[in-house]
Structure 1
Amino acid sequence: MTEAEIRTLIAKNIKGFNPKLELIEEEFKVEADDGTKGSIDILAKDNLGYLTIIELKKSKHSERSAIQQLFKYSAMLKDSLSIPQEKIRRIIISTDWRELRTPFAEFSTYADYPINGYKLTINDGQLSYEKIILEKEDIDKEPATKFHLFKFSSQKDRTRAVDVINKIASRITELNLLVFNIELNQPKIEGCYPHPDYGFGIIIIFFSCAYESVLQKLDIAAEEYTPYGSRDCLSEKLLVSLAFRVRLTRGFENKIAYDYEYERLASFSNYLSWYPVDKNYISFGKMFSRASLYMSKDDVLRHANGVNGIHPYLFEECSSTENAADFLVFRQRLSKFIAHNSEWQKVINYLLNNLGNDEEIRVFIFNPLNIIALINDYISKIENPRVPKLYIEIEKSDGQVQSYIGTLMCEGRGIFSGVVEKIQETYGSVTNFKKRLLNNTEPKNDEKLSTILGLKHFIMSGDKRLLVNDGQLEKTAINLEKVGLHVFFLDNIQVIDEVARFYNDNQISDGLIQFSAEDF
């Protein structure tokens, strides 16, 4: 059947898809305010008056653009019919979801409004639909935060261990893991410790899986693989990795060395530098059978390494929509990094959601967030104050490059005094604020305090500020002479004086935070 015939068949039998739907029109014409025109495959309405856009995945469209059509058409409906986006439902239907799952997972996670997907099966003219339920490995493609290093006394024992891993993974198909051979008896760097007795290593990195099912099939008692039998303090991926370790090491007495329960993921890059590591990793699990459609071995190795996007206030990475699985991991890391900066997050999500197929993006963000520390840098005349910076470069499929910059700007007039009271109100206490200075991993209140002080995180294209409202991008002309950070410092001398006294009274200096007994 042709795509047009399938569309007509679905439209005529709309009740078979959802008995609450009434067909409005097949190929419903829409037009945006700027004159852009489009055609919705099927437009329907339910018994509550909600509109439903149904789009079929067409062979001429990429998987990414097929989903983008849904959001483009819902924006057009909002403009032309003055219907809130919340009253529009978005559905994509396809007969083949193998390459559609990853971009569907991306937009299901990061789009402003929900979408639903259905797999269509046609038998003798009869239509049946199966709702797409995303599994953990569809969405979470990040490795566990720690990995295992096993050391063997001979090449033969290592080969036997890989065979055991293969047998376990073949029986427990829910497992998703990567295995790397490492030659510990051949250090690449002078002075690096050689392992003469256990010179043949295996590194195993674990990824998301149906962990309860995996733990049940591994059949290892909790007290055998967790400290004191407690599972509450460990993530699901680490629980699976520890149980797997017990299963693998049985039968290798005196032939396998295991110095640590697990090592930090960032240490993997050290091993890549110190010893020869076979980058032709062995992959197990359906996550990688899917990912292989999109992700090269270099992409997987980079993500297994885990060194990007883990710095508390520095993010620098690039990606392309051509590799859907790689791009999803990139989005996950970026989203986690800017989770406490809603202003930047809205604009960045819009830019990413509207990337076309085979387009590249490069992102650099320095985002310390802590405005009080920034004010103290200004007072102390530090040469490189902690001013947030953002640079985004998008290379379009036609070769054109779009550039965006971001920083902290003064919007309106904030408080002119009482900054200590605002710190206590925002963080709960001065002690909590001092802990925040000590630990950069808890910045959730920083943006709130910046807003109180009249400061906002801008993203600009030229002399226009980008804002996202109701899922649509707005560009507003700004006068940089009136909104720059220098305006804040000129207008808020009293606030700056109060911050100086606050740091002095609470014994806070750059690189040194003192606590008293009363703080605890």
Structure 2
Amino acid sequence: MVSENIIRDNLAKDLSILEPGLVLIKTEFKLENLFGASGKVDILARDEFGNFVVIEIKKSNQAARQATHELFKYLSIITRQLGVDNTNLRALLVSTEWHELLVPFSEFQYHSPVHTKGLHINVNNDGYITKVDEINKIPLNRSIKISHVQFIYLYNSKEKRDESIEQVSYALSSVDVTDHFLFSCDYRGSNPHVITPFGFFFTSTRSYRKTSKFN
């Protein structure tokens, strides 16, 4: 059986198999925790935009059950240790087994302030990754609430408005933000004092777990 350590060391030689632009900082990056148990991140890297990327590797369902707990702890420690905020930190959870991991990982993604991606990997007998597939989180039983933070942007031409919508849509998709509303607004009246008759409205959604008043 190939160990996680062998997979980690082989992966560290070429992180681009997970994502183009990843640059290795250190394997087994030691975390210093003044308030409890410390630990070691399997791989610490930077992406092409300079963000820190925590990469955790699992290869069994038994280890998978502990993965999200460890990842939450590691991300909390590393923000303090490196002095970075959540916007400059990402996580990749890499596993050969997702049967036990999919539900807790989906829950983790909904709650985590850090952008996290799950990757299913196949490895050969030598511990080299032969295939990588991104994991899609499963929908959880939630009701959707519209955020109280809402925006409307106004323009004096339809062309500028439409161009801005394309730019915002691209930016949202590039960071995997899908839970939002974005629609255009046109003024159809004849008031000559309206100088910005074109606009678009944007807001995100917030998800809440459904709970019973009897719980």
With the shorter chain as reference, the TM-score category is 0.5 to 0.7
Report the counterpart of residue 114 of structure 2 in structure 1.
Answer: 113
User: Which secondary structure state, in structure 2, belongs to the residue aligned with residue 115 of structure 1?
Assistant: strand
Which residue does 1:130 correspond to in 2?
133
SS in structure 1 at match of 2:41: strand
Deviations 1:468-506 (A, max 9, x none): xxxxxxxxxxxxxxxxxxxxxxxxxxxxxxxxxxxxxxx
Q: How far apart, in 2, do the equivalents of 1:28 and 1:51 lie?
A: 12
Q: Closer, same or farther in 2 for the Cα pair 1:87/1:107, shift >3 Å?
A: same
Given that 1:106 and 1:139 are in contact with CA atoms closer than 8 Å, whether structure 2 keeps it comes out as no
Inter-partner Cα distance in structure 2 for 1:76 and 1:58 = 24
Report the alpha carbon displacement of residue 25 of structure 1 after superposing the two structures with TM: 0.7
- Percent of aligned positions with the same letter in both sequences? 31
Q: What whole-Å deviation, never above 9, does each CA across 1:113-167 have from its counterpart, x for those lacking one?
A: 3321000012464532100123xxx32358xxxxxxxxxxxxxxxxxxxxxxxxx
1:94 corresponds to: 95
Match of 1:333 in 2: 210
Cα gap change, 1:86/1:68 in structure 2, threshold over 3 Å: closer, same or farther? farther
The secondary structure found in structure 1 opposite 2:44 is strand
Instruction: State the match for 2:58 in structure 1.
Output: 57
- SS at the partner of 2:115? coil
- The 1:12/1:102 distance shift into structure 2, 3 A limit, reads same
CA distance in 2, matches of 1:56, 1:24: 16
Match of 2:11 in 1: 10
Q: Is the 8 A contact 1:63 1:103 kept in 2?
A: no
Distance between the aligned counterparts of 1:111 and 1:17, measured in 2? 21
Quote the Cα distance in structure 2 between the aligned partners of 1:105 and 1:60.
16
What is the SS of the residue equivalent to 1:42? strand
Other structure's SS at 2:210 match: helix
Letter of the aligned partner of 2:30 in structure 1? K
**Residues 66 and 75 from structure 1, CA distance in 2 versus in 1: closer, same or farther, beyond 3 angstroms?**
same
Q: Distance in 2 between matches of 1:55 and 1:35?
A: 20
Tell me how many residue pairs correspond in the alignment: 147
8 Å CA contact retained: 2:91, 2:116: yes
Between the aligned partners of 1:43 and 1:81, the Cα distance in structure 2 is 11
CA distance change for structure 1 residues 8 and 65 in 2, over 3 Å: closer, same or farther? Answer: same
CA, structure 1 residues 133+17, in 2 after alignment: closer, same or farther (shift >3 Å)? same
Superposition pairs for residues 348-359 of structure 1, below 5 Å? none
Q: What does residue range 174-193 of structure 1 map to in structure 2 within 5 Å?
A: none
Q: Structure 2 vs 1, CA of residues 68 and 35 (structure 1 numbering), >3 Å: closer, same or farther?
A: closer
Cα drift, residue 85 of structure 1: 1.8
Report runs of 4+ in structure 1 exceeding 3 Å deviation: 58-64, 123-126
Change (3 A) 1:140 1:119: same
Residues 327-356 of structure 1 deviation map (CA, whole Å, 9 limit, x = unaligned): xxxx8323xx79xxxxxxxxxxxxxxxxxx
1:140 matches 2:140:
yes
Which residue type is aligned with residue 15 of structure 2? Answer: I
Q: CA deviation digits over 1:279-300, x for unaligned, max 9?
A: xxxxxxxxxxxxxxxxxxxxxx
Cα deviation for residue 28 of structure 1 reads 0.5
Letter of the 1:332 partner, please give it.
R
Residue 76 of structure 1 corresponds to which residue in structure 2? 77
Cα-Cα RMSD: 2.5
Structure-to-structure mapping, 1:420-499, within 5 angstroms? none
CA distance in 1, matches of 2:210, 2:63: 24
**Matched position secondary structure for 1:108:** helix
**1:60, distance to aligned residue in structure 2 (A):** 8.3
Aligned partners of 2:141 and 2:85: how far apart in 1?
33
Measured against aligned partners, the alpha-carbon deviations of 1:365-388 in whole angstroms (never above 9, x if no partner) come to xxxxxxxxxxxxxxxxxxxxxxxx
In 2, Cα distance between the equivalents of 1:27 and 1:60?
Answer: 21
**Superposition deviation, residue 98 in structure 1:** 1.6
User: 1:48: how far off?
Assistant: 1.8
Q: Give runs of aligned pairs for residues 247-262 of structure 1, distance below 5 A.
A: none
Taking the aligned partners of 2:63 and 2:122, their CA distance within structure 1 comes to 21
Q: Which has the higher strand share?
A: 2
The answer to whether the Cα contact below 8 Å between 1:58 and 1:66 also exists between their aligned partners in 2 is no
Query: What aligned pairs does 1:157-306 form with structure 2 within 5 A after superposition?
Result: none
**Structure 2, gaps ≥5 residues long:** 143-207
Q: Is the 8 A contact 1:70 1:91 kept in 2?
A: no
Q: Report the secondary structure of 2:103's partner residue.
A: helix
Spell out the pairing of 1:10-29 with structure 2 (5 A cutoff): 10-29=11-30
TM-score by structure 2 length? 0.60
Letter in 1 for 2:134: K
Bigger shift: 57-66 or 114-123?
57-66
Structure with greater proportional helix content: 1
AA in 1 matched with 2:133: E
Question: What is the alpha-carbon distance in structure 1 between the residues aligned to residue 61 and residue 118 of structure 2?
Answer: 19
| Runs (5+) with no aligned partner, structure 1 | 143-330, 339-362, 365-520
Task: Give runs of aligned pairs for residues 316-465 of structure 1, distance below 5 A.
Answer: 332-334=209-211, 364=215
Tell me, in whole angstroms, the C-alpha distance in 1 between the residues paired with 2:130 and 2:117.
18
C-alpha separation in 2, matches of 1:131 and 1:77: 24
Distance 2:65 2:129 in 1: 28
Q: Distance in 1 between matches of 2:38 and 2:61?
A: 18
Deviation at 1:58, TM superposition (A): 5.0
Equivalent-residue separation in structure 2 for 1:35 and 1:140 (angstroms): 32
Asked if the contact 2:55/2:91 (under 8 Å) is kept, the reply is yes
